[in-house]
Chains A and B, each alone.
Chain A
């Protein structure tokens, strides 16, 4: 898989085979990990009783949940559409500037869910020695998502560098 900035200020990801599409599909799968509490609930749990945590759970968390879900759905649909167009073979997927926030959010949701499940910790302290293959694979996906996020931050989310 290759990723590169486009002249229009977006990002293009070229998949080389069906497995690459599987890795992109795993963004949504990881973000929706049912073995952990969903992200909106975890955010809601951060507020103390004094800060109105109970009301937050009732009134704000559903909105957060809907927002996160919509962003994931948008990215999932874009990936499935690209797979369909490529007929499951090698092909590109574009992340345009106006679609960058759902993409960044989906990648972040996936990384937050992986962190919640596997507790990798800060980058400088991670050790994969003796880890089982499932955890190692999760770590590699997290690194991949992070690499795409860095590209989005550096090339897409800042001020437009596209030629006028």
Chain B
């Protein structure tokens, strides 16, 4: 028989999930019309919004094309990389 007992304590910590950004980066190969086309196809954006984001990629070198929960962000990154756009995932500030 043991003279000591083990006391197990659990602590639950809840915090807000950090949103993640899906970022498309500029590259010298993908055509501007194609980038617009892919953003329209993957996110369902209208042509105007997709064109604004495409111009941002072209002029600023990158554009945050979507922000939200991580799982969905990963799905979008996979879709965009599957269309050969230089896409990364980063924590939203």
Contacts and interface: CB of A to CB of B under 8 A. Distances in A.
Contact of A108 (B74, B78, B84): B84
What secondary structure prevails in chain B residues at the interface with A? mixed
B29 A115 contact: yes
B82 A64 contact: yes
A51 B78 contact: no
A51 to B, nearest CB: 4
B84 A51 contact: no
A105 interface: yes
Interface residues of B, number: 23
Interface of B: 20, 25, 27-31, 33-34, 37, 74, 77-78, 81-84, 86-91
A104 interface: yes
Given A112-B84, A115-B28, 18 more contacts: A43-B81, A43-B87, A46-B25, A46-B81, A46-B87, A46-B88, A47-B89, A48-B89, A50-B91, A51-B20, A51-B90, A60-B81, A63-B78, A120-B28, A150-B31, A153-B34, A154-B33, A158-B37
Contacts of A123: 28
B29 A51 contact: no
Interface string A94-123: 000000000011001101100100001111
Contact of A157 (B37, B78, B84): B37
A43 B87 CA distance: 8
